[in-house]
């Protein structure tokens, strides 16, 4: 089904996510342990601002898993790089709710009930963070970096309004 909203053609799904990553060196305390259970997180149409390290880490993991879902080896390499990079700063990194499944002689990652609406659109952000350790550190550990979720069904969409320089990644459909 195709709807026309705001003068453009779109599919019937309309979640919007803006990811703001500060360019300033405003780190908060880096935890000794980073532990998330993917099934505890859903990022969809709700109007919400996510700032915690756990929320941003879960969002990123689901972006890796869903964004490259057809390539088990690539997902494994990206997760390995992500965890090793974070391991430079955090003593213990633990991810629950992420299983490896074999189906029809192919291997897949399954994140149970964890969810980022249309996470496959996060490849640009995932690649940027995995190629830039300092940006990854600012994304995860700074309170000035956050994820805004919402939708374009109403005029209530939140725009990033901050008074510092930042990188923005936008996921919408």
Question: Minimal CA–CA distance to 139: which of 67, 163, 130, 121?
Answer: 130
Which ranges of the chain have pLDDT less than 70?
1-13, 154-158, 173
Looking at the 3D structure of the chain, how many domains does it have? 1
Give 10's strand partners. 3
Question: Does 45 fall in a domain?
Answer: yes
Percent of the chain whose predicted confidence (pLDDT) is above 70: 88
For 125, the domain range is 15-153
Question: Does 148 fall in a domain?
Answer: yes
pLDDT at 140: 96
Q: Which residue has the tokens 């790089």?
A: 81
Question: Does 23 fall in a domain?
Answer: yes
CB 58 within 8 A of CB 36: yes
Question: Does 161 fall in a domain?
Answer: no
C-alpha angle 47-38-152 in degrees, rounded to nearest 5: 20
Query: 3-state class of 20 per DSSP?
Result: strand
pLDDT at 3: 44
Q: Considering the entire predicted model, what is its pTM?
A: 0.87
pLDDT at 8: 47
Q: Which residue has the tokens 């992500």?
A: 82
Question: Does 8 fall in a domain?
Answer: no
Q: CB-based contacts of 140: which residues, under 8 Å, 6+ apart?
A: 53, 56, 57, 60, 86
End-to-end Cα separation, the chain, in angstroms: 13
Question: Does 106 fall in a domain?
Answer: yes
Question: Does 139 fall in a domain?
Answer: yes
Question: Does 136 fall in a domain?
Answer: yes
């Amino acid at each position: 089904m195709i709807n026309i909203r705001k003068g453009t053609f779109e599919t019937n799904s309309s979640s919007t996510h803006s990811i703001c990553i500060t360019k300033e060196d405003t780190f908060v305390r880096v935890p000794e342990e980073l532990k998330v259970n993917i099934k505890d997180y859903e990022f969809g149409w709700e109007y919400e601002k996510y700032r915690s390290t756990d929320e941003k880490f879960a969002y990123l993991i689901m972006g890796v898993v869903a964004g490259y879902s057809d390539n088990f080896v690539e997902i494994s390499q990206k997760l390995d790089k992500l965890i090793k990079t974070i391991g430079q700063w955090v003593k213990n990194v633990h991810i629950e709710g992420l299983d490896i499944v074999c189906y029809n002689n192919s291997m897949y990652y399954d994140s149970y009930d964890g969810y980022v609406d249309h996470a496959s659109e996060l490849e640009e952000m995932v690649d940027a963070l995995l190629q830039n350790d300092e940006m990854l550190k600012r994304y995860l550990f700074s309170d000035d970096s956050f994820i805004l979720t919402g939708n374009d069904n109403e005029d209530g969409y939140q725009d990033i309004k901050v008074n510092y320089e930042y990188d923005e990644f936008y996921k919408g459909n």
